[in-house]
Amino acid sequence: MNQEQLLKHHQAICNEAFELMKKKNHDYAGKDGTTPFANFEKAEMMGLCSTEAGMMVRILDKISRITTYIDAGELKVENEGYSDAVIDLINYLVLFSGYIKSKETARLKPVKFPQRTG
């Protein structure tokens, strides 16, 4: 693979990840999309772990599948090859990044106090 082919591959895999993110986030966050991290936040609400730790567990799941592929040369679950794990990993990392960014943005918002009258 040369550089041009690699860049085309990058664009194609990112487009595939983007389309899958839209579909899966609809299913997990609801059609209005107001809570894109809802399935991860549920783990925190249940007292299981932080939202970030829940995300890391899913990321490590995908790394484990890729490691198995590297070690065994194959994956046994049909319709879920190494490329599916790569796409999922991309999306989990984007979700993680978005969640952290939303927390940082929320911290930086100025607090608005009600105006006193009279």
49: pLDDT strictly greater than 90: yes
How much is the pLDDT for 113?
63
Q: Is 10 exposed, middle or buried (0-12, 13-18, 19+ CB in 10 A)?
A: exposed
Q: Could you tell me the pTM of the whole model?
A: 0.84
Taking a C-beta distance cutoff of 8 angstroms, is the pair 42, 52 a contact?
no
Burial class (CB in 10 A: 0-12, 13-18, 19+), 51: buried
Q: What integer pLDDT is reported at residue 106 of this predicted model?
A: 83
Taking phi first (over 0 means left), then psi (-120 to 50 degrees means alpha), and beta for anything else, what does residue 53 get? alpha
